[in-house]
Amino acid sequence: MEMLEQNCRISDNIFSRINNEELQYLNLLEHILENGILENGRNGANKSIFGASMRFSLDNGVIPILTTKKTAWKTCLKELLWFIRGNTSNTILKEQGVHIWDANSSREFLDSRQLTNYQVDELGPIYGWQWRHFNKQYICNNDRSFIDKHFAYNYHNPEQYFINIDDQGIDQLQYIIDALKEPTKRNSRRLIMSAWNPSQLDQMALPPCHVLCQFSVKNGNKLSCALYQRSADLFLGSCFNIASYSFLTHLLAHHCGLEAHEFIYFMGDCHIYENAFEASNLQIQRNPYPFPTINIKQIRDNIDDYTIDDFELHNYNHHEAIKVDMVA
């Protein structure tokens, strides 16, 4: 109790809180607000620290979706399924009512990244591309149209302009699934999926923030995931990142006949943007509820085939949403 009194100073009624894992997040918010370095970054003023971590149990179907503000978990899950399928077009998300990538796929933002040949809503070889086609050459839609027009009947030397058009890259996610399904391979220390590809960063609308995850099976069937995130927008982004990789861990465990055990979250640059200071102060005054649980209703033959209707969330009690504009 003495240690709790020393470390948790975010509310007068701290001891009434029963969700100690969410306190990790709230304490980090407070720590950054009180001790973070105020600086002007690429996209505005923020307070930041370097280096933090959290651990969340996934046992018994628990999933750490933050409760001290309403988290749009369906939006988060739709984005994850979009990653899993290797999609990179924001149009697909917009058709599902998901708009979290709109600012980063606008004409203005793409031009600021010197991606002037990209069409609006084209994001380049971002997360899903690297998860399912790591290092496959990315050809933007306009260039693909050029190929189809000029090389449809003239394939004598297409590599003059484009190399390895038919190369599918490396399917990192399927490699992990195959290993998890094989008892002699699932305890490998090489079950790693990377979104950070230096050779293609300049083709991405936004270089990846959550850059690398590693999966580990202990005690024969307990699946855990560790994520390293180079850049964490703690107020707006991290709540999605925690939920997303916890969803992914539950899904892989379900799909491969294992049990989800733990999500471990490592962060490099942790920051709160200036427009979220007031909102963060509001959130840390709230008492968290217990996390909800998840049920996945069936096992699909292919990881690409899961839909949002396959997921059920139970007992998600939460405080009201806190609206803050995303800083692109």
Q: CA 172 to CA 89: how far, in whole Å?
A: 20
Q: What Å distances lie between residue 175 and 67, 133, 182, 191, 223, CA to CA?
A: 34, 11, 11, 8, 16
Tokens of 17: 């809180």
Catalytic center residues: 209
CA 40 to chain centre: 24
User: What is the SS3 assignment for 39?
Assistant: strand
Residue 251: name the closest of 304, 213, 185, 172 by CA: 304
Q: CA 204 to CA 303: how far, in whole Å?
A: 24
In sequence order, the 6+-apart residues with CB closer than 8 A to the CB of 178 are 185
Q: What are phi and psi of 218, to 5 degrees?
A: -120, 160
Residue 128: name the closest of 160, 101, 153 by CA: 101
Q: What is the DSSP string of 297-308?
A: ----SSGGG--G
Supply the DSSP symbol for 309.
G
Tokens of 212: 């690398």
Beta strands in 169-278 (DSSP E): 192-194, 210-218, 222-233, 259-273
The type of residue at 10 is: I
Tokens of 264: 């471990």
The number of beta carbons lying within 10 Å of the beta carbon of residue 126 is: 24
Helices and strands counted in the chain (H then E):
10, 8
